[in-house]
Amino acid sequence: FLGRAVPIKDPNDNIIQWIGTCTDIDEFKQFQQQKDNFLGIASHELKTPLTSLKLYSQFLEKNLRKQDDNKNADVAMKMDEQVNKLTSLVNDLLDVTKIQNGKILLNRNEFDFDELVNEVIAEQQMSTSHRIYLENERIGNIYGDKNRISQVMTNLISNAIKYSPDSDNIQITTKLTEEDCVHFSVRDFGIGIPEDKQDRVFEQYYRVSGSKEHTFPGLGLGLYISSEIIKRSGGRIFVNSVEGKGSDFCFEIPKNYNH
Ligand code: ADP
């Protein structure tokens, strides 16, 4: 039960009575649980048809190119891109249910951090006209979950692209801190985030309300998932931003976190 009470005062400010409410939050918790279960089942069920759709669209594109039907091959390619977007939304929903059920486990191994940065940038660069620059210090091998860290990098870079519709440059920086942590930052020169909203962007489903000129698609989950991954990697994630000027999203993780 959740109790709430307010005092009723006389003209001399003496409390003469309390009025309270008592709410049964069991029902609310049950509802939350049902909602989370539904999200988990629905996103899981969506994965199978999406996997087939991806195979079909790739098969179609390949065959149309072979027949020199480039116009229709381009349509199939666009279908494939949309399937990728849908898959990443469904994966985000699945990740959120995993986080809520405490089932997001990191699979840690040694991997080459610099190589991963180059791979992620190359992949992002293929699907954007923004110019992604890299200023890097040699980091070498680190111990962590390569796929999950790649997911965080991809999320930060794709946000930087999405939220800078009128500016072209994205600057990535990597370096080692004095505490032997890997520092990774993505700087954009886009719409930026008002100061009072900067901490909230890491909350689940939180989105800064769009400007009049632009609407940006999204569920408000990417940064929440990223911050959970970074926390579980023993690190921290944060943002410096100026509204209208751009944002700098950074994470720092220990090079050899082993807990
Ligand atoms: P989504 O982009 O799907 O809304 P995220 O969790 O990735 O979800 O981001 C949460 C919110 O933070 C976004 O809706 C946006 O308002 C803000 N945001 C994230 N990255 C940037 C950025 N690089 N520039 C400006 N705003 C950003």
Q: What is the pLDDT of residues 240-249, one digit of tens each?
A: 999 999 999 9
Residue 213's pLDDT is 66
Q: Judge whether residue 36 has pLDDT over 80.
A: yes
pTM: 0.86
Q: Which atom of ligand 1 is nearest to the CA of 210?
A: 16
Does ligand 1 have an atom closer than 6 angstroms to the CB of 160? yes
Task: Name the average pLDDT for the chain.
Answer: 92
Does ligand 1 have an atom closer than 6 angstroms to the CB of 225? no
Torsion (CA) 121, 124, 129, 135 in degrees, nearest 10? -20
**What tokens appear for 146 in the block?**
């390569």
Residue 16's pLDDT is 87
135-175 pLDDT tens trace? 999 999 999 999 999 999 999 999 999 999 999 999 999 99
Q: Judge whether residue 210 has pLDDT over 70.
A: no
Cβ-in-10-Å burial (0-12, 13-18, 19+) of 113 comes to: buried
5-9, 128-132, 177-181, range with the lowest pLDDT: 5-9
Distances 103 to 145, 162, 178 between C-alpha atoms, Å: 15, 29, 33
- Give the Å distance between the CA of 41 and the centre of ligand 1: 26
- Give the Å distance between the CA of 95 and the centre of ligand 1: 17
Does ligand 1 have an atom closer than 6 angstroms to the CB of 188? yes
42-88 pLDDT tens trace? 999 999 999 999 999 999 999 999 999 999 999 999 999 999 999 99
Q: Judge whether residue 215 has pLDDT over 70.
A: yes
Does ligand 1 have an atom closer than 6 angstroms to the CB of 95? no
* 3-class secondary-structure state, position 129: coil
Closest CA to 257 of 136, 113, 135: 113
Give the mean model confidence (pLDDT) for residues 210-221.
80
Does ligand 1 have an atom closer than 6 angstroms to the CB of 234? no
Residue 251's pLDDT is 98
Whose Cα sits closest to atom 12 in ligand 1? 201
**In the structure, what pLDDT confidence band is assigned to residue 124 with cuts at 50, 70 and 90?**
very high
Residue 211's pLDDT is 60
Residue 18's pLDDT is 87
Does ligand 1 have an atom closer than 6 angstroms to the CB of 167? no
Q: Which atom of ligand 1 is nearest to the CA of 220?
A: 8
Does ligand 1 have an atom closer than 6 angstroms to the CB of 190? yes
Does ligand 1 have an atom closer than 6 angstroms to the CB of 228? no
Q: Judge whether residue 212 has pLDDT over 70.
A: no
- Give the Å distance between the CA of 46 and the centre of ligand 1: 24
